[in-house]
Amino acid sequence: MVSEPLADRGVAHRWRRQELFLLSCAAFIVGCGLVVVDLSTVNHVQAVSIRLLLAFIAAAVLIHVAIRRRARFADPFIAPAALLLAGIGLVEIHRLDIAEQVQAITSGQPVPVARAPLQSLWAVVGAALFIATLLVVRDYRRLQRFPWLITLCGLALLLSPLVPGIGHTIRGATLWVRIGGLSIQPAEAAKVLLPIGFSAYLTRHGRALALLRSTVAGLPVPRLRDFAPLLVMWVASLGVLIFQRDLGTSLLFFGLFVVLLYASTAQRSWPLIGLALFLVGSLIGWVLFAHVQLRVLLWLNPFRGDGTSQVALGLYGIADGGLFGTGLGQGYPSLVPFAESDYIFSSISEELGLVGFLACLLLYAVLAQRGLRAAQQSRDTFGSLLGISFATVVALQTFVVIGGVTRLIPLTGLTTPFMSYGGSSLVANLIIMGMLIRLSDSVRAPRAAFKQAVFSTGPVPVTSPNDATEAISIVGGDS
C-alpha cells in the first residue's frame, strides 16, 4: 500500500535533525576508528588521520546542507548509512596503508604512497557531484523522456575501455580508461546511467512485454519479438565478459535488467528465461576463457596447491577474526592480495569480527530497503522502477562481492560499494545516493502522490472518491 505524503514542514525539520544526528554518530565512529588504528600500530595519532577525519566531516556537511536546502523531505537514513560505509572503508584503507609502510621499512624497500588521503579526496569530490545531482535533477520524471539516449550513453561508457589508445588493461581485465595521468573505470558511470535508461524503457514498454499469449510446457512465454531487449542485454553482457574479461560487471547489468523486467511485468517467465540465458552464458564463459575456469576452480577448491590463493587467504582472515575480531590494527589483513579493494570485507571481518561484518551488511540492507521504500511510495511507474533499479544495483553488488569473499559463489571482481578503494566506484555510488535522495524527496513531499500521478504512464491510482476528485482538479489545473 502506498503511504500518504507528509505535508507538515515540522516533520521535514525533524527528519533533517535525525539525519544530522546520525551523520554526527558516523563521524564519531570514523574518528574513533582512525584513533584506534594509529594507537594500535604507531602508538600516536598521526596528522594524516586528522586530515582524513576532517575530509570525511567536510563531505558529510556538504551532503547534509545540500539535502536540507534542496531535498528537505528526503529519507533521513540514506545519507548516514552510505557515508558510514564510506568512513569504515576509509579507516580500513588507512590501516592497510600503515601495514604496507611498516612492511616496506622493515624490508628496506621504498615506502608506498598512502591511498587513504586520495580516497578521502574522492569522497569530497563525490559529495560535490552528489550536490550537483540534486541541483541538476530537480524532477526525476524528466529523465524518462530519453530512454534510448541514456541507455546508449551508458553502453558506450561500458565499452569505452575497448577503444584503442585510451583503454588500459590491468591484471588481464580491460576496465580502465587512461586520460593523461588519470585512470577511471567508465563502468562505474554506467551504473548510474543504465538503471535510468532501463527504467525509462520499461516504463514505456512494460505492458507490451507483460503480454504472454503462448505457453511452453504449461509456462507462459513472451512473443518472439519481445525477446529482443533481453537478448540485446545478454549479448552485451557476453561482450563485456569476452572482450573486457569483466565477469562482475557482466553479471550486474544482466541481473539488473532481469529484475526490472520482472518488476515491470510481474511475469515469472522473465526471471526463468533470464536464468536460462545466464546458465548458457556461464557455460560459454567456462568453455572459452581460462580466467573463468580458474575462478571456478578456486571456488570449488580454494586450498589447492600450497593453500595461499587469494580466496584461501581471505577465508583465513575471516576465520581468524572470530566473533569480535582481533581489533583494529591487531590483525594481518595486508597478507591478502588486493585487500583494499576486492577483499576489503575480509579485512574488516578479521579485525572487527562477525559483529562488524554483520553491522556493515545491515547498513547495505538499510540502503536497499530505503530505496525499495521510495519505489513503493512512488505513484508513477518510472519512479517505482527507478527506486527498484538503484536498490538492486547496491544489493546485487553487495551480494556478489560478499558471496565471492565467503565462497558462496565464484569471485567476480566487483568492488564493494562505498568501501573499496577507488575514486570511480565511490563517486558513482554517491551519485546513485543522490538519485535516491531526489526520488525519496519527491515521493515524500506534500501532495507528491497527486503530482506524480499526472506524469504517470498508467492510470491515476484512486483509493477514495475524495482522492479521485482532487486528482482530477490537479490535472485540470495543470493543463
In percent, the amount of the chain with pLDDT more than 90 equals 45
CA distance 339 to 325: 16
Q: What is the reported pLDDT for 160?
A: 81
Is residue 62 within 8 A of residue 132, CB to CB? The reply is no
Residue 33 has a CB neighbour count (10 Å cut-off) of 24
Whether 155 has a pLDDT exceeding 90, the answer reads no
Residue 263, Cα to own-chain centre: how many angstroms? 19
Q: Of the given ranges (377-381, 382-386, 470-474), which has the lowest mean pLDDT?
A: 470-474
Q: What is the tens place of the pLDDT at every residue in 420-474? A: 998 889 999 999 999 999 999 998 887 544 344 444 444 333 333 333 333 323 3
Q: What is the reported pLDDT for 170?
A: 67
CA distance 77 to 82: 9
Amino acid at 312: A
When the pLDDT of each residue in the chain is averaged and rounded to a whole number, the result is 84
Q: What is the tens place of the pLDDT at every residue in 408-428? A: 888 877 888 999 998 889 999
Q: Of the given ranges (141-150, 227-236, 296-305, 466-475), which has the lowest mean pLDDT?
A: 466-475
Q: Which residue has the higher pLDDT, 447 or 116?
A: 116
Quickly state the pLDDT bin for 379 (edges 50, 70, 90).
Answer: confident
Segment 319-329 mean pLDDT: 91
Segment 359-372 mean pLDDT: 95
Each domain of the chain, given as residue ranges in start order, spans 447-479
